[in-house]
A and B are shown apart, each in its own frame.
Chain A
Amino acid sequence: MSIPKITARNVSVSYGAKQAIDDISIDVDMDHVIAFIGPSGCGKSTFLRTLNRMNDTIPSARVSGDVRLDGQDIYAPEMDVVQLRARVGMVFQKPNPFPKSIYENVAYGPRIHGLANSRAELDVIVERSLTRAGLWNEVKDRLSESGTALSGGQQQRLCIARAIAVDPEVILMDEPCSALDPIATARIEELIHDLRGRYAIAIVTHNMQQAARVSQRTAFFHLGTLVEYGRTSDIFTNPKEERTKDYITGRYG
């Protein structure tokens, strides 16, 4: 087992009076893609959003527990959220490119974080990010066109390129393929394979085949609690918990 990048211990989140997740402990590391599965409303997305403090944008959300990135408490008062989110990138369920050109979409992060000293350096970052996201060959001749004019799958890869451009250590993906067709989904899954090892990756998915294909670790959430967490092969072939078995065999959810 490699050294964990993120360690979450006893994490609970509530929205006002409603408890969304309760006492979750999970590690995310560089060598294994971890998939969060479970029925709708089980808290898997909420948990994902605690890892880069995106729950901060919801005024009623209260987070307790301990989340560390390389041993550093990300909820500590001295933690700079801007730096945290640059290190822990995120890809959303619905592709959300900015209404700017393809180039400007990818250059957005490097610009706000001052990663490039010249236009030439920025060009290098943009090309590298688009290449890693498997989009470069499709868009290299039309970088100045609007990002919103791309197809859904291309938009999602653009969003991945945008996240990669700030050189994060962790990439969180919140159901990245749920708005895409099967072909676009397959390309994103290939991409996740390629990115593994360079980035620590956590992915929320509704699709159990997808979890089985792309991840090496799987965590099964149900009603805000972590039911089972282990090797993907074990979870899918030999689940310990009855509820996990029922879910992956399609008995509910």
Chain B
Amino acid sequence: MNGIVLLILIVGLGLIAWAVSRMRALGFRRRLGTRISSLPHHHGWYVALWTAAPPLLFLAIWAATSPALVTDMVLGTPAAAQLPPPGFERAAILSEARALAAGRAHGAFHTLSRTLAPAYDAAQARVDWIATAVVLMLALAGGTYAYLRVRPDFSARTRIERVILGLLLGASLIAILTTAGIVASLLYEAGRFFSVVPITDFLFGTHWSPQVIDPRDPGASLGAVPLFWGTFFIGAVIAMAVAIPFGLLSAIYLTQYAAPRARRIMKPVLEVLAGIPTVVYGYFAALTVAPAVRQFAVSIGIDWASSESALAAGLVMGVMIIPFVSSMADDSLAAVPNAMRDGSLAMGATPSETITRVMLPAALPGVVGGVLLAVSRAIGETMIVVMAASGVATLTANPFASTTTVTRQIVDLLTGEAEFDSPKTLAAFALGLTLFVITLLLNIIALTVVKRYRESYE
């Protein structure tokens, strides 16, 4: 509440600083009529930043530290002497008193919290007062300092540029730091898992049944090979058997044969496939494709075919990946210089000879890179397999049998009711880490291949 008022105050002061310094800078221009290093609005922004940034920074730090400060103040009051020793009850009373003081709670469970509430009120008011005073002081000090530097020969422009550089750098760092944080948390949790289960049991064991774990030997039922196999089978074999031919052929048609008008219509339609939410693919797989696949299997004499077959999940996943493969192949074919195509056509080669003998070999590294990226997407795909693949880990190469995948198992493990530090739940992090490492490697290989290829034509 108070924070919002302060924020508005800071922004208001910033606006005033902007307007005033801009006015002053406008005056320079009129008076001198000579070359100036910065435009009036540069000076405006410079002073506004100096006015608003320090108090904002202070507020950010204050928001993180002031609750502890308030609690310290409350503990210093005489009423706090009656509090029980540090522990769960003491924390509960304090948080209740805080809620009462802030008006978020109406009744209190502990009588003591009712006595402490006024102390909280007073402490909070003091802290808020300090914050307001510091904010005003910082804003005035910063604003005045910057305002005094506003002169015709002062280059506010380059300083604004530096601030923009800093902002851009900060924005990109946040994405990188988040990735690092995710990796760190995965590593930490996976490390806890591997302290219970030997890594060799996990990576090379062929028996996976996390529902029944023997506490004396948890590794015996946490062998992930069936999951890796199922993931590879559905994502890299069945899905790619659909996505590579259809994606590649459609790219060839669109780049080499289609009239400009056909291309204008067909390319966006194909790309719509990529925009369908994966959960929609999931129920399409589970409700439409899986029964059809089972029916087909039964009709050719395989009457034990599963209704959660690897084939159904893989087929739908392949369809989902088609636009991905197609657009990567499209880019690679388009990057082959037209001179190659003309050279071949001028030799009397037909369009299809030109494509198979010249265009595709030249575009191959790009196509391979695209396929690897598609594989890494397919094996990380979750929703389709959660809905259409089985939860039972079986080591089979029969497309009509049921198989499970790493992502499906992660979902199953984390939606159970087991406590958070059991080997069963921690296994999810080990699986996540493995998946992450594999897709990372695939992406690195794919991007290297694509990059090397691009360089050869520039």
Contact = CB atoms under 8 A, between A and B. Distances in A.
Contacts of A100: 361
Contact of B361 (A52, A99, A162): A99
Contacts of B342: 54, 57, 92, 96
Given A99-B362, A100-B361, A108-B357, A166 B348 contact: yes
A201 to B, nearest CB: 15
A99 B337 CA distance: 11
A82 B348 contact: yes
Given A59-B259, A112-B353, A112-B357, A96 B348 contact: no
Nearest to B343: A96
B240 to A, nearest CB: 25
B167 interface: no
A89 B346 contact: yes
Contact of B344 (A89, A98, A113, A148): A98
A109 B354 CA distance: 11
Contact of B260 (A59, A82, A97): A59
B175 interface: no
Given A54-B345, A82-B349, A96 B340 contact: yes
Count class of interface residues, chain A: 20 to 34
A109 B340 contact: no
B395 interface: no
B345 A85 contact: yes
A216 to B, nearest CB: 25
Interface string B303-316: 00000000000000
B346 A108 contact: no
A55 to B, nearest CB: 11
A54 B358 CA distance: 17
Nearest to B363: A99
A85 to B, nearest CB: 4
A28 interface: no
A84 B348 CA distance: 7
A98 B259 contact: no
Given A59-B260, A96-B339, A113 B358 contact: no
Interface in B353-382: 353, 357-358, 361-362
A156 B307 CA distance: 61
A112 B343 CA distance: 13
Interface in A60-93: 81-86, 89-90, 92
B351 to A, nearest CB: 9
B348 A109 contact: yes
A245 B349 CA distance: 42
B192 to A, nearest CB: 51
Contact of B348 (A92, A98, A113): A113
B126 to A, nearest CB: 76
A163 B348 contact: no
Nearest to A84: B348
Nearest to B353: A112
Contacts of A90: 346
Given A96-B337, A96-B340, A82 B346 contact: no
Interface in A153-200: 159, 162-163, 166
A243 interface: no
A59 B261 CA distance: 11
B339 A57 contact: no
Contacts of A108: 344, 347, 349, 357-358
A52 B353 CA distance: 18
A132 interface: no
B195 interface: no
B361 A86 contact: no
B337 A112 contact: no
A174 to B, nearest CB: 10
Interface string B167-193: 000000000000000000000000000
Contacts of A109: 347-349
B455 to A, nearest CB: 13
Given A92-B342, A98-B340, A98-B358, A162 B260 contact: no
B343 to A, nearest CB: 4
A92 B347 contact: no
Given A59-B259, A99-B362, A112-B357, A94 B339 contact: yes
The residue among A85, A98, A148 with the most chain B CB atoms within 10 A of its own CB is: A98
Nearest to A159: B343
Interface in B243-272: 259-260
A148 B456 CA distance: 10
B350 interface: yes
Nearest to A109: B347
A98 B456 CA distance: 12
Interface string B321-356: 000000000000000010111111111111001000
A90 B343 CA distance: 8
A232 B345 CA distance: 31
A109 to B, nearest CB: 5
B361 A92 contact: no
Contacts of A81: 348
Contacts of B358: 98, 108
Contacts of B350: 82
Contacts of B344: 98, 108
A163 B343 CA distance: 9
Contacts of B341: 57
A146 B340 CA distance: 15
A103 to B, nearest CB: 14
Given A98-B358, A98-B362, A112 B345 contact: no
A85 B260 CA distance: 25
Nearest to B457: A99
Nearest to B364: A99
A59 B260 CA distance: 9
A118 B27 CA distance: 89
Interface of A: 52, 54, 57, 59, 81-86, 89-90, 92, 94, 96-100, 108-109, 112-113, 148, 159, 162-163, 166
8 contacts: A52-B346, A57-B342, A84-B348, A92-B342, A96-B343, A98-B340, A98-B362, A99-B340
